[in-house]
Structure 1
Amino acid sequence: MPISSRKTTSASGKSALVGSARAHALGMLAGVVLDALFADPRRGHPVALFGTAAAALEKRTYGDARAAGVVHVAVCVGSVALLGVAASRVRDPLARGVVSAAATWSVLGGTTLGREGAAMASFLEAGDLAGARGRLSHLCGRDPSRLEPPELARATVESIAENTSDAVVAPLLWGAVAGVPGLLVYRAVNTLDAMVGHRNARYERFGWAAARLDDVANAVPARITGVLAALGAPLVSGSAGRALAVLRRDGHRHPSPNSGRCEAAFAGALDVTLGGVNVYGNRVEHRPEMGDGPKPSVPDIRRSVRLARAVGFAAAGLAVLAALRG
């Protein structure tokens, strides 16, 4: 092949890669906009469909051993990875952008998270304790039956902090790094952790692989979430310096290697103290306290929602820029 032909082929290939990266980046941006406008689809949500399939598979793969859990995770995540790779092979830029937009919308949960936080705030502001207790299951798995408004507020703020990483920052980061497969695989890993990554008699060993893989997948996103939340503190009348100090001091004290980074940053940004006793059915956990202020009150819920929204928009901007650079 003549030298000139090789140069032309190389330039053509480079142009195709740039066009592919641009289509994916714009598709991710469109997916963020779709989530902001419409939140999660109420019926036929892809994550719910994945969860149903994973639960059905668990009936065949379950065993009280780590090896069984590894097989379960490998089949579930591997299937989603293959789907993501197949979807990302679309060559037409417009079609690729549509695929990226659909994938991004399907894995994001930031708008729904904010709406659930606002709903909790509304119940508590209206003095509807029964309604607030009933709504808490939309955010976390704590037993709400004996929780009073201050503890419901704390549970809500902590859940918003943690899920800002899980439902927004992490999928966007993985989408920027690994395209459509990154978006889908991350959501599969995170969903499996929520399903089987529990420390109880049934899942202590079977859920080990899902829990550890989720820890790895969230290691960087959780820390980025913490930094973005700290930097966004002035948007909720907080101090970025104080939030960063709390993040450095308390972020590692949480039992989770990742959740603590998010909760500590939110605690510092909102100038509240998070952590304490959490009840999950028959299990009681004593979480270290993070932050220097008072325990969260009902108004802090809406402040946490505003902070989470700011973190999400900042993460979206960073992810789109990273994807554009291919």
Structure 2
Amino acid sequence: MSAVSHLTALLLGFCLDLLWGDPHWAPHPVRAIGALIAGLEKLLRALFPATPRGELIAGGVLAALTAGISTGAACLFLWLCGHIHPWLGFGAQVLLSYQLLAARSLRDESLKVYQALRHGTLDEARQAVSMIVGRDVDRLDETGVAKAAVETVAENASDGVIAPLLFLAVGGAPLGMFYKAVNTMDSMVGYRNEKYLYFGRCAARLDDLLNFLPARIAGVLMCLAARPAGFDGKNAWRIFLRDRRKHKSPNSAHTEAAAAGALDVELAGSSWYFGELVEKPAIGDPLRPVEAADILRCDRLMYAAAFLAMVLFCGLPLLLHLAWT
């Protein structure tokens, strides 16, 4: 498939994601990747010794098999569809591009938290936010719930929207599937706890590598989008440049810093995970408390950055191609 075809497919897939999101009833490649990871983990833990070296090797095999099988399946699916008919192949590229993006679903899930905070109980809000965060939610008050939702939207603006857009633009659905396989692995096994310290290390390092450039691009795009979206553009740049390295991960704080600055709030800080308090530095300045409406504001900022990414990764290359042909 030509570059123009897969960029056009990406544009259509982006539009479909904004319109429909990810219906829970529909088959989805990320759920298939998750099932593959779970199955491979069980198999590899049985095959390799439960020693640091054994778990490191098993984790490396997991990363290779998950990324290889996922990417190969995407290539095979596109080839089979294209072999039947070129338009079917194009439709398959649109479908995979659509399914690998998560802007609408990120907005929809965070909106459930907002609605629970505004019209429901604190327990309902905690339940809603527990679906999109990994931290313990039973200790969160209303401000903590809103803050957790804002942080999730800000962080996932990179690995759920901007980064997939970049990989899809560069290499079409196969490269997008490769990225999503690695990112899903990191979300499932890339923890620094006793269970995954060695087994998940390869997946975590590979995810760090793949997200190194996209995270920084995403942070810049959120700063650029802040003022047009109606937020504090100057403060977005200030906090982004000051706080974007305030995280153990080399990539996670870039979009959080941009969002904190744009919204004039303080994000991050210490949180409870699996019953243990994890000390983390704050990002941004507490110019005002985080409130439920900040969830909607961060959604708008994420959408604005996504549109800028589409112009940069897809629109400009298509226009340049048309200009030269």
Deviations 1:118-143 (A, max 9, x none): 11111111252111000112211111
Q: CA deviation at 1:105?
A: 1.2
Q: Decide whether the 8 Å contact of 1:88 with 1:179 is kept in 2.
A: no
Deviations 1:76-131 (A, max 9, x none): 11111222333455476533421221111111111010011111111111252111
Mapping for residues 77-116 of structure 1, pairs under 5 Å: 77-89=67-79, 90=82, 93-116=86-109
Question: Which fold has the larger relative contact order, with Cα–Cα distance below 8 Å and residues 6 or more apart in sequence?
Answer: 1
Q: 186-195 or 286-295: which moved more?
A: 286-295
Q: Which of 37, 42, 60 is the aligned partner of 2:24? A: 42
Mapping for residues 1-326 of structure 1, pairs under 5 Å: 20-43=2-25, 44-62=27-45, 63=48, 64=50, 65-89=55-79, 90=82, 93-292=86-285, 293-321=287-315, 324=318
Letter in 2 for 1:80: S
Q: Decide whether the 8 Å contact of 2:225 with 2:308 is kept in 1.
A: no
Q: CA deviation at 1:280?
A: 1.1
What RMSD over aligned residues (CA atoms) do the two structures have, in Å? 1.8
With structure 1 as the length reference, what TM-score do the two structures score? 0.89
Deviations 1:167-219 (A, max 9, x none): 11111101111222111111101111111111111110000011111111111
Q: Decide whether the 8 Å contact of 2:269 with 2:283 is kept in 1.
A: no
Q: Decide whether the 8 Å contact of 1:276 with 1:287 is kept in 2.
A: yes
Q: Decide whether the 8 Å contact of 1:24 with 1:323 is kept in 2.
A: no
Q: Decide whether the 8 Å contact of 1:278 with 1:285 is kept in 2.
A: yes
Q: CA deviation at 1:298?
A: 1.3
Whose Rg is larger?
1
Q: 31-40 or 308-317: which moved more?
A: 308-317
- Runs of 4+ deviating beyond 6 Å: none
Q: Decide whether the 8 Å contact of 2:136 with 2:275 is kept in 1.
A: no
With structure 2 as the length reference, what TM-score do the two structures score? 0.90
What percent of counterpart residues are identical?
A: 39
User: Number of residues paired by the alignment?
Assistant: 308
Distance 1:323 1:57, change over 3 A: farther
Q: Decide whether the 8 Å contact of 1:23 with 1:93 is kept in 2.
A: no
* Alignment gaps of 5+ in structure 2: none
